[in-house]
Amino acid sequence: MSDNAAVKILICQGTGGISAGARQVEAEFSRLIAEKGLSATIGKRCDVVKTGCRGLCANDVLVDIITPELGRVTYDFVVPEDVEAIIDEHIIKQEPILKKKAKEYYNTFVDQQMRVVMTGCGQIDPEKLSAYLEEDGFKAIEKCVKEMTPAAVIDEVKKSGLRGRGGGGFPTGMKWSFCAASPGNKKYLICNADEGDPGAFMDRSILEGDPYCIIEGMMIAAYAIGCYAGYVYVRAEYPLAIERLQKALDTCYEKGYLGKNIQGWGFDFDLRIKKGAGAFVCGEETALMASIEGERGMPRPRPPFPAVKGLWGKPTNINNVETFANVRHIINKGSEWYASLGTETTKGTKIFAVTGKVKHTGLVEVPAGMSVRDVIYKVCGGIANNRKFKAVQAGGPSGGCIPSEVLDTPVDYDSLIKAGAMMGSGGLVVMDETTCMVDVARFFLSFTKMESCGKCVPCRIGLKAMLDILERITAGRGEMADIDTLLEMGATIKKASLCGLGQTAPNPILSTVKYFRHEYEAHIIDKRCPSNSCKELLLWRVVPEKCVKCGACLRACPSNAIAWEKGQVAELLQDKCTKCKSCYDACRFMAIE
């Protein structure tokens, strides 16, 4: 921070923060600061800064107060009613309110991480170019243009070992060199921000929290490859990301960081946003290009690869948001520094979106190679509600499940594939003993079936047939032969599909059968769901010995199917029960089964 004499109030305003009421908190701070004449009272400037997401979305609204005397203090779960007390006690009297301060877990959550890509997210105002410039913004592209040849830039990225963060893990420098080597002087650069994997939101957070770093990353790539035009393809479900990126682009054009002869460096680059329209398959690069061209987003066969013949038939380089966000740090700090992070085959850091049944859901950035166990238990505080860990699903609908036996797998591309999952975009959905693995497989398949574009028969028809089988199993009408049919069909679909969607769609099934075959068998043979999840197989009841008579189930029930009075064991009225599971989830003592 450049201005040490000022008080700074940082308020998290990502999508998570805003849905928890960050705008109201900000308004209250601004109102009270003006009303109390705060700057005059304490004799210092007092800035309210809205920042992007800082990761711990479950505890929003997060507010950091930075004063010269007390340094940085974080408050969580802030509501507008707390604001006056924070100003009076903390900023004026210099006495932080201990009761409201984020507890120890917040420090653990932050300390265990290593923030490279997300340094700016949650610290700077994403809507201000000046804030980005203070953090050495656009220094990397300046260095490239002034001191390095395009080939030297590619070489530097190659040496850093950076691999594509979109999931495939293809070496970025290599990809750039292919496109740079393609003949022709009209080439395109695309940033893939069609982050469709349910459970992953790091790209959204970067776009919302630090949009300028994407622009700079793309400028560097454009310089290295020799492109003069680029697109950022953002999915339409991210209105805030689109708004902030558009603002950043407008400012860049205004201040001469985009357009013709950027900053007088003799380098041109045009960048515009292309808004998606709600199709998961458009995250696949050839489908994405079809979509930019204004067609149905259906994948095209490769080769020819985009580096040779991509958008409008021209050589095209396409990278993911997080990949571009890494680039400026590699140029600024050098490829050796970057290559020193991570493991032998996976360099640098990786951002994970850890969600599901963990205590602290949110975004975490860790050096590649940390074990999955450490990510879940050390950084994110373990499983919520004292339940038992069952598995973690990595890599979204294309990935697989990691059970407790292989929880020590390090998070790098190759180890995860060996464990039957994949890095994917970096979503980690944690599941506890109440999550049914057959149901999870069914869930992913219903998603990929819906999103299949319909071009290849194995994917279009095959996924539908597999889903029918899974639905039969979860309804208690499965047969033992079904498991083998699933395995066989899965293998065929993987082999016979054109694009990544079909090639990976059977993964969730294959990996759950591999690690949780007993759950499939329980559904088929015993007509029982061991995790109490598949509702056609369940009849709920209260276990009197386990019930602590707290009444939590009564409050959770939407259909008055719980009879309970103070000091009494609860009773479940079968005729009113809609099997919605609200009571089961609400009970912390596993007294409903």
Partner 1 sequence: MSNAPAAEEIPAEEIDLTQANEIIDKFLTLPGNLMPVLQGIQDAYGFVPRPTIDLVAERLNVYPSQIYGVLTFYAQFHLKPRGRYIIRVCVGTACHVQGAERIVETFFGRLGIGHAETTPDLRYTFEKVACLGACGMAPLAMVNDDTFGKMTVQKVDEIVETYNQRPMK
Binding residues for partner 1, rule: CB under 8 A, are 15-16, 18-20, 56-58, 60, 195-201, 204, 236-239, 274-280, 291-298, 312, 353, 355-357, 361-362, 393, 396, 427, 429, 431, 435, 440, 443-444, 447, 450-451, 453, 556, 558, 578, 580-582, 585
Least spacing, CB of residue 382 vs partner 1, in Å: 16
Measured CA to CA, the distance from residue 578 to residue 517 in angstroms comes to 29
Tell me whether residue 464 or residue 555 sits nearer to partner 1 (CB atom). Answer: 555
Tell me whether residue 73 or residue 288 sits nearer to partner 1 (CB atom). Answer: 288
- For residue 69, the tally of other CB atoms under 10 A from its CB is 6
Least spacing, CB of residue 277 vs partner 1, in Å: 4
Tell me whether residue 72 or residue 296 sits nearer to partner 1 (CB atom). Answer: 296
The residue among 200, 215, 223 whose CA lies nearest residue 324 is 215
The residue among 126, 206, 173 whose CA lies nearest residue 426 is 206
Residue that has been written with the tokens 């539908």 in this structure: 464
Tell me whether residue 14 or residue 150 sits nearer to partner 1 (CB atom). Answer: 14
Least spacing, CB of residue 292 vs partner 1, in Å: 5
Least spacing, CB of residue 201 vs partner 1, in Å: 4
Q: What angle, rounded to 10 degrees, do the helices at 211-225 and 202-209 form? A: 100
Least spacing, CB of residue 58 vs partner 1, in Å: 5
Least spacing, CB of residue 293 vs partner 1, in Å: 5
Tell me whether residue 342 or residue 362 sits nearer to partner 1 (CB atom). Answer: 362
390, amino acid identity: K
Least spacing, CB of residue 525 vs partner 1, in Å: 25
State which H helix or E strand residue 75 sits in.
strand 71-75
Helix (H, G, I), strand (E, B) or coil at 296: coil
Would you state the structure tokens that stand for residue 253, as one six-digit string?
A: 């054009």
- Decide if 54 contacts 12 (C-beta within 8 A): yes
Measured CA to CA, the distance from residue 135 to residue 66 in angstroms comes to 17
Measured CA to CA, the distance from residue 248 to residue 258 in angstroms comes to 10
Would you state the structure tokens that stand for residue 244, as one six-digit string?
A: 């902030």
SS3 per residue for 93-116 = CCCCCCCCECCHHHHHHHHCCCCC
Least spacing, CB of residue 82 vs partner 1, in Å: 18
Would you state the structure tokens that stand for residue 302, as one six-digit string?
A: 């490769």
Tell me whether residue 179 or residue 289 sits nearer to partner 1 (CB atom). Answer: 289
Tell me whether residue 1 or residue 27 sits nearer to partner 1 (CB atom). Answer: 27
Tell me whether residue 358 or residue 469 sits nearer to partner 1 (CB atom). Answer: 358
Partners of 349 in beta bridges: 367
Tell me whether residue 176 or residue 231 sits nearer to partner 1 (CB atom). Answer: 231
> In sequence order, which residues have a C-beta less than 8 Å from that of residue 87 and are 6 or more positions away?
29, 32, 33, 36, 38
Tell me whether residue 278 or residue 304 sits nearer to partner 1 (CB atom). Answer: 278
The residue among 326, 355, 353 whose CA lies nearest residue 342 is 326
Residue that has been written with the tokens 């007092």 in this structure: 46
Least spacing, CB of residue 530 vs partner 1, in Å: 16
Phi then psi for residue 18, to 5 deg, are -65, -40
Least spacing, CB of residue 63 vs partner 1, in Å: 17
> In sequence order, which residues have a C-beta less than 8 Å from that of residue 337 and are 6 or more positions away?
none
What is residue 377's DSSP assignment? I
Least spacing, CB of residue 95 vs partner 1, in Å: 31
Measured CA to CA, the distance from residue 449 to residue 461 in angstroms comes to 9
Q: What angle, rounded to 10 degrees, do the helices at 507-525 and 463-474 form? A: 30
Least spacing, CB of residue 244 vs partner 1, in Å: 14
Tell me whether residue 349 or residue 425 sits nearer to partner 1 (CB atom). Answer: 425
Provide the terminal-to-terminal Cα distance of the chain, rounded to the nearest Å: 54
For 382-393, letters b (16+ CB in 10 Å) and e give: bbbeebebbbbb
Tell me whether residue 68 or residue 239 sits nearer to partner 1 (CB atom). Answer: 239
Tell me whether residue 217 or residue 508 sits nearer to partner 1 (CB atom). Answer: 508
Least spacing, CB of residue 446 vs partner 1, in Å: 9
Would you list the DSSP string of 401-465? Answer: EEEGGGTT-BSSHHHHHHTT---TT-EEEEEETTS-HHHHHHHHHHHHHHH--S-SHIIIIIHHH
